[in-house]
């Protein structure tokens, strides 16, 4: 057993640590899978780390239902308020920095310095997107010149419920880099965490639950990507899907299934999650509404 794993199991003083039961995060609550199933999560050295809930298609449907229910309130909140909520996520995550560093090390085998850098970047990414909450509409919106006595405005609006397949090899930073830009503009999300490295995502769910994010805005499922993802791709109440965490062949199949109700399929490569973020992922989940209004009334 590695040094990091041994500390996690026995504790600093040689005591046996209290084992957590890792559950799903749906609608602001932490239910077990309706199937009663779980699967073994191993550390980077293939040692036993924990058991996590193995989500079913029914769990995925429940998550989509929770996301749809939360959409009206979240998209109707002011952009300033959404920015405050995302910043609060960064604050709470900062307070649990040591735990996230330990979990990233356990999951990936990274050095302490590398894990600390990844967690710090994940925190900074929440702050960066929080700052865009009340600016993206100004960047993507426009007052259009028209020939006639009219005002013509183009206004960006959230697309709806977004399914996110988190990156498989970046359990925290990659997840944040996909999730934050989806929710900052008012979308709600169903996230399928990294199948092999789910614990940072589960801990992030605890952060979200205690940082003013309304229940249902983010729902996190753990389990088999190949089982859950196709169901989300074909779900008629999912409006967009990020296939980042799907293998190539599965991503292609999901794009075909998504065509049934004209979902947006997001395929933005990110080989280096620590690279400077841009607005592409935010823009991918926005629809443009054009409004005409008579001049002088």
- How is domain 3-8+24-294 classified at the CATH fold level? Aldehyde Dehydrogenase; Chain A, domain 1 (3.40.605)
Question: 150-158 and 218-221: which strand pairing?
Answer: unpaired
Encoded tokens for 160: 């709806």
pLDDT tens profile 225-253: 999 999 999 999 999 999 999 988 899 99
- Give, as one character, the DSSP assignment of residue 11: -
pLDDT of the residue at 100: 97
Distance of CA 296 to CAs 141, 145, 148, 149, 151, Å?
A: 22, 16, 12, 8, 9
- Regions of the chain where pLDDT drops below 70: 1-13, 270-271, 296-297
pLDDT of the residue at 237: 96
Q: How far apart are CA 48 and CA 2, in angstroms?
A: 11
pLDDT of the residue at 6: 43
H-helix segments, the chain = 3-10, 57-76, 79-95, 97-108, 112-132, 136-140, 173-183, 199-209, 225-234, 248-258, 280-283
Q: How far apart are CA 55 and CA 198, in angstroms?
A: 12
pLDDT tens profile 27-78: 999 999 999 999 999 888 888 888 999 999 999 999 999 999 999 999 999 9
Strand partners, 158: 286
Q: How far apart are CA 210 and CA 272, in angstroms?
A: 29
Domain ranges of the chain: 3-8+24-294
pLDDT of the residue at 270: 66
> 174: buried, middle or exposed (CB in 10 Å: 19+, 13-18, 0-12)?
buried
> 247: buried, middle or exposed (CB in 10 Å: 19+, 13-18, 0-12)?
middle
pLDDT of the residue at 271: 67
pLDDT of the residue at 268: 83
**Contact at 8 Å (CB) between 257 and 234?**
yes
pLDDT of the residue at 13: 59
Coil, helix or strand at residue 117: helix
**Contact at 8 Å (CB) between 180 and 208?**
no
Q: How far apart are CA 40 and CA 257, in angstroms?
A: 30
Q: How far apart are CA 218 and CA 64, in angstroms?
A: 10
Strand partners, 286: 158
């Amino acid at each position: 057993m590695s040094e990091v794993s041994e500390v996690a199991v026995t504790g600093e003083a040689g005591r046996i640590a209290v084992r957590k039961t890792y559950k799903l995060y749906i609608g602001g609550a932490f239910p077990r899978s309706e199937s009663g199933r779980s699967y073994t999560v191993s550390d980077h050295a293939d040692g036993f780390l924990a058991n996590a809930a193995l989500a079913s298609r029914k769990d995925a449907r429940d998550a989509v239902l929770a996301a749809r229910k939360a959409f009206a309130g979240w998209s109707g909140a002011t952009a300033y308020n959404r920015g405050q909520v995302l910043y609060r996520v960064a604050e709470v995550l900062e307070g649990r920095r040591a735990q996230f560093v330990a979990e990233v090390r356990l999951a990936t085998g990274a050095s302490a310095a590398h894990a600390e850098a990844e967690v710090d970047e994940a925190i900074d990414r929440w702050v960066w997107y929080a700052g865009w909450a009340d600016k993206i509409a100004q960047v993507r919106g426009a007052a259009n010149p028209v020939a006639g006595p009219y005002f013509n405005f183009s206004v960006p609006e959230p697309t709806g419920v977004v399914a996110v397949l988190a990156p498989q090899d970046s359990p925290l930073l990659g997840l944040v880099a996909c999730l934050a830009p989806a929710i900052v503009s008012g979308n709600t999300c169903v996230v399928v965490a990294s199948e092999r490295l789910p614990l940072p995502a589960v801990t992030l769910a605890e952060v979200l639950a205690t940082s003013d994010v309304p229940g249902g805005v983010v729902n996190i499922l753990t389990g088999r990507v190949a089982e859950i993802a196709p169901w989300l791709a074909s779900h008629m109440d999912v409006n967009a899907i990020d296939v980042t965490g799907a293998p190539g062949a599965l991503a292609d199949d999901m794009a075909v299934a998504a065509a049934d109700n004209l979902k947006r399929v997001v395929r933005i490569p990110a080989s280096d999650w620590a690279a400077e973020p841009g607005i592409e992922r935010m823009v991918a989940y926005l629809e443009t509404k054009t409004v005409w209004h008579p001049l002088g009334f």
